[in-house]
């Protein structure tokens, strides 16, 4: 039985039951911490579908769950300011004493803005800010577009919470995404990154006078993996395959132009007697381009499109495969092998199926335990890896 009040507040713009990668990670953080929490989140009905199994996953730890209705705009004050103000109102109406801790996670940027206000105005004694990815950059190294920050009203309250030097810096970098990174850098008590290369890329965006203090408060914490019981319950067998067939599962959008094409090409290069013993099931809502490429390469019989599964059903189904495919992006323009650790690795890692990883050498994914591994751009190496995997069933 949960306590009637929670001493920890979760601020997560994207939160269950909405299907969103960051919502899943926040839910797993709550399971991992195993303490009662209150939650302030947004209504994402306009942009995300619902997955009630995600809410079932996190429900045992929820005391109060407040859903805020605001315009759903990514890096835009027209969405951010009402989320902050309505979230503050919810805390003031429902809470007497300050929370001992507030936790927030990007993406989306809204979460850090509300948490910063709560921490700076005394509604929480400690603030943990987690970053899912480098906020300012897309995976291809291009800048993420961002709306401007107006230096008036509620935003002036955040400016007053930092020193003069930091105020000048924030005025010079008055965009939503810049503030979503640098306000936590200035005010959060703990900064959580999923891998060290992500930390290094984000530190490079900060002025030198800020970096040492950020590193002092930084924690590296990869996406959590749920306990084995979440994979074992009511697990259904994999889809029917021929005896001796090596089955690979992939859950999520499959991008032939982001490294996935190399994997398909490697399948096409297998000798016919091995290729007929391989299946790739891709669970995705949109497989048009994937199936086109597979047909062009002559491997249409090897690639099967499956309907997306609810999160908890996905965990259970994953164990029916011989391998679960995960890959790094095709190139890394950041000066490090990769600042991105694919979040699905943490879900695959708890499954009895082995991970089959296509990695950038030295990337966070490359450093993880993987049963099968090859490298981005090495089609011959991927073919050899598939050969080893298929013949391992002999």
- Structure tokens belonging to residue 75: 């890096």
* CATH T-level topology, domain 8-220: Rossmann fold (3.40.50)
The reported pLDDT for the residue numbered 95 is 67
Give me the pLDDT at residue 92, please: 87
- State whether residue 388 is helix, strand or coil: helix
Flag whether pLDDT at 300 surpasses 70: yes
Question: Are the C-beta atoms of residues 120 and 157 closer than 8 Å to each other?
Answer: yes
pLDDT at 238: 47
Residues 103-113 have a mean pLDDT of: 96
Report domain extents, the chain.
Answer: 8-220, 229-391
CA distance 264 to 303: 9
At 237 the pLDDT is 46
According to the model, what pLDDT value does residue 239 have?
Answer: 56
Rounded to whole angstroms, how far apart are CA atoms 69 and 295?
Answer: 44
Quickly state the pLDDT bin for 243 (edges 50, 70, 90).
low
pLDDT at 331: 76
> What is the C-alpha to C-alpha distance for residues 96 and 105, in angstroms, rounded to an integer?
24
The confidence score (pLDDT) of residue 5 equals 83
**pLDDT, tens digit, 9 for 90 and up, residues 65-94:** 999 999 999 999 999 999 999 999 999 887
Q: What's the distance, Cα to Cα, between the start and end of the chain in Å?
A: 51
Does pLDDT of 244 surpass 70? yes
Q: Is the dihedral of CA 31, 33, 37, 42 positive or negative?
A: negative
Residue 60's pLDDT is what?
Answer: 97
Backbone phi, then psi, for 102, in 5-degree steps? Answer: -120, 135
- Compute the distance between CA of residue 243 and CA of residue 256 in angstroms, rounded to an integer: 29
pTM of the model: 0.94
What was the pLDDT predicted at 91?
Answer: 92
* DSSP letter, residue 54: H
Query: What's the rounded mean pLDDT across residues 345-359?
Result: 95
pLDDT band at 255 (very low <50, low <70, confident <90, very high): confident
pLDDT score of 253 more than 90: no
State yes or no: pLDDT of 235 exceeds 60.
Answer: no
pLDDT at 259: 67
Interatomic CA distance for residues 13 and 39, integer angstroms = 10
Matching CATH number, 229-391, of 1.10.132.20, 3.40.50.2000, 3.40.50.720, 3.30.465.10: 3.40.50.2000
The confidence score (pLDDT) of residue 217 equals 98
Residue 261 is predicted with a pLDDT of: 87
Q: If 0-12 CB within 10 Å is exposed, 13-18 middle and 19+ buried, where does residue 9 land? A: buried
Residues 96-113: what's their mean pLDDT? 94
User: How confident is the prediction for the chain on average, in pLDDT?
Assistant: 93
pLDDT at 312 > cutoff 80:
yes
| pLDDT tens digit sequence for 140-169 | 889 999 999 999 888 888 998 998 999 999
Q: Do domains 8-220 and 229-391 have the same CATH topology?
A: yes
CB-based burial label for 342 (10 Å; 0-12, 13-18, 19+): buried
Question: Mean pLDDT across the stretch 325-350?
Answer: 91
From 58-72, 243-257, 310-324, 367-381, the region with the lowest mean pLDDT: 243-257
Mean pLDDT score, 268-292: 94
The confidence band for 1, taking pLDDT boundaries of 50, 70 and 90, is very low
Share of the chain above pLDDT 90, in %: 84
**Residue-level pLDDT at 242:** 59
């Amino acid at each position: 039985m949960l306590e009637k009040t929670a001493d920890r507040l979760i601020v997560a713009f994207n939160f269950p039951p909405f299907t969103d990668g960051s919502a899943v990670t926040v839910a797993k953080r709550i399971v991992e911490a195993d303490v009662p929490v209150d939650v302030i989140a947004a209504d994402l009905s306009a942009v995300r579908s619902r997955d009630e199994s995600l809410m079932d996953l996190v429900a045992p730890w929820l005391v109060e769950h407040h859903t805020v209705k605001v315009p759903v705009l990514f890096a835009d004050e027209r969405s951010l300011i009402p989320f902050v103000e309505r979230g503050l109102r919810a805390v003031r109406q429902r809470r007497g004493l300050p929370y001992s801790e507030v936790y927030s996670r990007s993406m989306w940027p809204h979460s850090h803005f509300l948490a910063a206000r709560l921490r700076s105005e005394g509604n929480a004694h400690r603030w943990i800010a987690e970053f899912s990815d480098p906020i300012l950059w897309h995976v291809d190294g291009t800048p993420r577009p961002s709306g401007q920050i107006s230096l008036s009203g509620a935003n002036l309250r955040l400016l007053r919470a930092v020193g003069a030097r930091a105020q000048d810096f924030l005025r010079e970098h008055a965009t939503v995404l810049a503030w979503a990174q640098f306000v936590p850098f200035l005010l959060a008590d703990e900064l959580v990154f999923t891998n060290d290369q992500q930390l290094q890329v984000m530190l490079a965006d900060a002025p030198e006078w800020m970096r040492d203090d950020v590193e002092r408060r930084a924690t590296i914490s990869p996406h959590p993996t749920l306990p084995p019981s979440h994979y074992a319950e009511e697990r259904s067998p994999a889809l029917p395959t021929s005896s001796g067939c090596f089955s690979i599962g992939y859950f999520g959008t499959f991008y032939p132009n982001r490294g996935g094409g190399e994997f398909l090409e490697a399948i096409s290069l297998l000798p016919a007697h091995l290729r007929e013993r391989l299946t790739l099931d891709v669970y995705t809502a949109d497989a048009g381009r994937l199936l086109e490429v597979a047909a062009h390469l002559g491997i249409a019989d090897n690639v099967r499109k499956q309907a997306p599964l609810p999160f908890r059903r996905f965990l259970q189904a994953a164990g029916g495969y011989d391998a679960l495919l995960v890959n790094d992006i095709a190139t890394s323009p950041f000066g490090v092998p990769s600042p991105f650790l694919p979040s699905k690795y943490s879900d695959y890692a708890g499954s009895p199926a082995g991970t089959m990883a296509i990695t950038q050498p030295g990337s966070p994914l490359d450093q993880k335990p993987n049963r099968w591994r090859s490298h981005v751009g090495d089609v011959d190496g991927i073919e050899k890896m598939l050969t080893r995997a298929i013949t391992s069933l002999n």
